[in-house]
Amino acid sequence: MKKKDQTYSEDHLESTIQQYEKSILDGKDEYFDVDDIEALVDYYMENGESEKALKVVQLGISIHPNNADIKIAQAKIFLFTEKADEAELIYEYLATIEPDNCDIKLLGGEIKLLHGEETEANKMFSDLIEEDPDYTCDVAYAYYDNFFYKEAITYFEQEIEKETLKNVDVNFITDAAFCYQQLGQESKAIALYEKLLDEDPYCKEAWYNLGQLYFSAENYDKAVEAFDFAYVVGNDPQNLLQKGNALFQGNKLQTAIETYTIYGETGSDARKIALVFIGECYERMNDYDKAKEFYEKAISEDPNNLGALSGMCICCLEQNDYKEGIEYAERAIAIDPELPENWMYKAEGKLNLGNVDEALACYLKASELAPNFAECLFSIGNIYIDKGDYDKALEYYNRGSEINKDADKIALYYAITFFKKGDFLQSHTYLIESILKDPETRTIFFDICPEAKEDSLFKNLFEK
């Protein structure tokens, strides 16, 4: 829960938490004033511990039975835990004894939102802010917490306009930027952070969040720049990792390796991550021997490193060492059988060794774990083509194309399937579409369907 007027110091909060938790362990009753109770409730709620927050509230009510603020806190916990009816009972009671209390009016608006009564909530919030503009922030969060980002950003903007950004809590700026992102207005989110950094260039959180925004927008050069500034200002190794990731995605692999190397020197956990990511860089360079060198180091330090095991599997498959690739895939599957990628890798290895039925079983398992993985569905369709079950192949191609209608070779798959089923007109239509996208698919089609070379409908395409 967020309060617009929270002035409780961190030191005081830590002391209060220790005092409260010690009293629980000792089984002793301690006195806490209303501010203490509210601070404890906020602390536990922000850490996702609603049951502990509720116990604090119950203690608060026993000490201060007539205090409205504690009852409001209780109602908000009920809202958070989706017990709207209990929250509404508290609201109705409080509204009769303190009808002019703005915190109670705010609570009423939140309950209306939860009930889906948006018009009534909008009216209550509008009237509240007209009565006391200091509640603009609270109304923004009431909408935000209930996923009404369009309404929330309106009030975030009003609050931001009141003073310079460097005087606004950076978490507030982060939440406002998140609203822009959810509304598809990433440029406004970026502009917000850039404006903040113009006023406060040493705000490490802003640099980091700006880097994340640029990364999401696939502007990797800008992301690298932002993470660089974040690291210089805050000296947080996480920024090095994110810089390395941006360099990797921007295909600046050698610089990414250098950055990951520096990151790996910041601690043992960082080293485990860095070894895998450096391996991925070499893998993308097609330097599979060098990639395996780093993956092997990662595995020697942690035999259960899934990223390294998967990386070794991929390198082995790329080097046509299918048996060893399968062994690494199986080791990864033994650690976490719910990851579909390793079932896919195992399937690829089995297929290349001619174990078609085992490959199909692995692909089907991967598809079960990740039903929306179009590439897996296409692979299953291909196996059914080889097995001569064209109806089954068509079923899987259809499922895959529903997920990814722009897949590179879907038109080719359809051309082959319909030819095998004897529907030459449909096949011809899809073959033309496939060739227009990728002329090389002509050769693949006639290799798989050589009898089409002599068919009058396809002969012209073959000769071209």
Per-residue 3-state assignment (H helix, E strand, C coil) for 314-370? HHHHHCCCHHHHHHHHHHHHHHCCCCHHHHHHHHHHHHHCCCHHHHHHHHHHHHHHC
| Token couple for 113 | 């939102």
Average pLDDT of span 410-425: 95
Confidence at 4, pLDDT banded by 50, 70, 90: very low
> Domain span at residue 422?
396-464
pLDDT in tens, 129-157: 999 999 999 999 999 999 999 999 999 99
Is residue 408 a part of any domain in this protein? yes
pLDDT of residue 152: 96
Q: Per-residue pLDDT for 242 more than 50?
A: yes
Residue 123, in any domain of the structure? no
The total number of structural domains in the chain stands at 1
What number is the average pLDDT over the span 376-394? 96
More confident call, 296 vs 196: 296
pLDDT at 91: 93
Residue with tokens 């000792």: 26
- Report yes or no: 239 and 231 within 8 Å, Cβ to Cβ: yes
Q: Is residue 437 part of a domain?
A: yes
Q: Which residue has the tokens 């511990």?
A: 49
For residue 171, is it within any domain?
no
Average pLDDT over every residue of 429-438: 94
In this structure, is residue 440 part of a structural domain? yes
Q: Given pLDDT bands bounded at 50, 70 and 90, which one contains residue 1? A: very low
Question: Does a structural domain hold residue 402?
Answer: yes
Residue 414 within any structural domain of the chain: yes
List pLDDT tens digits, range 16-40: 999 999 999 988 888 999 999 999 9
What integer pLDDT is reported at residue 434 of this predicted model? 94
Two tokens at 364? 């089907």
pLDDT digits (tens, 9 = 90+) for 84-120: 889 999 999 999 999 999 999 999 999 999 888 999 9
Contacts of 279 (CB under 8 A, 6+ apart): 291, 292, 293, 294, 295, 298, 308, 311
Say how many Å lie between the first and final Cα of the chain, rounded. 69
In a domain, 433, yes or no: yes
